[in-house]
Amino acid sequence: MSDLLGEADKDASTALAPAVLVESLTFSYVRGKPIIDIKKWHLNKSEHVFLYGPSGCGKSTLLNLLSGILAPQQGTVNILNTDITALKPSKRDRFRAQHIGVVFQQFNLIPYLSVLDNIRLAMHFANNSAEQESTYTKKETKQERIVSMLQALQLPIDCMQQKAGELSVGQQQRVAIARALINKPDVLIVDEPTSALDASAKGAFMNVLIETATSSNAALIFVSHDQSLASHFNRVESLTDINGSPAFVNQLDSKE
């Protein structure tokens, strides 16, 4: 649908549009048993939201739907007024590379590539054929951008040449954020990034995450079952509340 819109229309409308707008979204792995059923949900630009819910409530499924890896049976997922469910697969892949950053609880990096190459690869996918997105190369080289990003995430610069698999879990998660944010995404989706971290590392990681997400003006969707992390967010929602799937209690009104 929005595929039919011209580029100019899109640019004009993105200024007003919410970062994420989900409408009548349903998804089921097994026919007749939807695991996701969301009437309407939206997230404003630069807004941070904490979604919590028990495991098995469809968190990962929702995130995959939001990032366009899964296609819903019904409904639309609009990211910056672009309905990604209507995009062709190849366009959706590029759109994801350019506009959405994703960090999972683990396996966020290619273990045999160096930190630098992991981030470069992400830039490569985003940059593929979208020359208009490569504006930053005019101001700073890719290398400089990566260095400043790593510095912001309080990662030592000399880790750049190290293989991602050789880093500590905490460092890997920070590199994952660097990788997710390097293309200046409009939406950063983070799924249980701290589950493998100890308590002290958790706090430090959350601080760095919120800080860099804020400074890069990305809308942040943070999903976790660990409610102690909710303190870092203004907006906190229970996934079971927004997900009207019959598998869970139907509570359609949002908490805020």
Partner 1 sequence: MIFSVAKQSLLHRKVSVLLTFLALLVSVSLLVSIEHIRKEAKSSFYRTVSGVDLIVGARTGQINLLLSSVFRVGANANSVSWESYQRIVSNPQVEWSIPLSLGDSHKGFAVIGTTNAYFEHYRYGDKRQLSFEAGGRFTNAMVNKAVNNNQKSASIINHFDVVLGADAAKQLNYKVGDQIIISHGVGKVSFSHHADHPFTVVGILGFTGTPVDQGVHVGLNAIESIHTQPQRSLSKRNVSQISLKKSTQAENNHDEQEQEQEQEQEQEQEQEQEQEQEQEQEQEHNHSIDSDKQSGLADLSSQVSHDLLEYEIMQPTQVSAFMLGLKSRIAVLQVQRQVNQDKLEPLSAIIPGVALGELWRLVGAIENVLRIISAAVLIATLLGLSTMLLASLRERKAEINVLRIMGAKPSFVFWLLQLEALSIALAACIVGVVTVVSLIFLSNDWLLAEYGLSLSPNILSIHTLLVLVTVLAATFLIALIPSIGAYRNARTLT
Interacting residues with partner 1 (CB under 8 A): 60-61, 64, 67, 69-70, 89-90, 93-94, 96-98, 102, 104, 107-113, 117, 120-122, 124-126, 179
* Rg of the chain, C-alpha, whole Å: 18
97 versus 197: smaller Cβ distance to partner 1 = 97
110 versus 210: smaller Cβ distance to partner 1 = 110
Cβ–Cβ under 8 Å, residues 172 and 82: no
CB of 32 to partner 1, least distance (A): 19
48 versus 96: smaller Cβ distance to partner 1 = 96
Query: What token pair was written down for 78?
Result: 């609009």
CB of 203 to partner 1, least distance (A): 26
Q: Which residue has the tokens 């990305």?
A: 218
Query: Quick count: other Cβ atoms within 10 Å of Cβ 21?
Result: 18
Query: Quick count: other Cβ atoms within 10 Å of Cβ 161?
Result: 10
Q: Which residues contact 44 (CB under 8 A, 6 or more apart)?
A: 18, 19, 219
Q: What angle do CA 202, 96, 62 make, to 5 degrees?
A: 60
CB of 200 to partner 1, least distance (A): 27
CB of 90 to partner 1, least distance (A): 6
> How far apart are alpha carbons 40 and 6 in whole angstroms?
26
> How far apart are alpha carbons 99 and 188 in whole angstroms?
9
Cβ–Cβ under 8 Å, residues 159 and 147: no
116 versus 236: smaller Cβ distance to partner 1 = 116
60 versus 74: smaller Cβ distance to partner 1 = 60
CB of 43 to partner 1, least distance (A): 19
105 versus 238: smaller Cβ distance to partner 1 = 105
CB of 164 to partner 1, least distance (A): 10
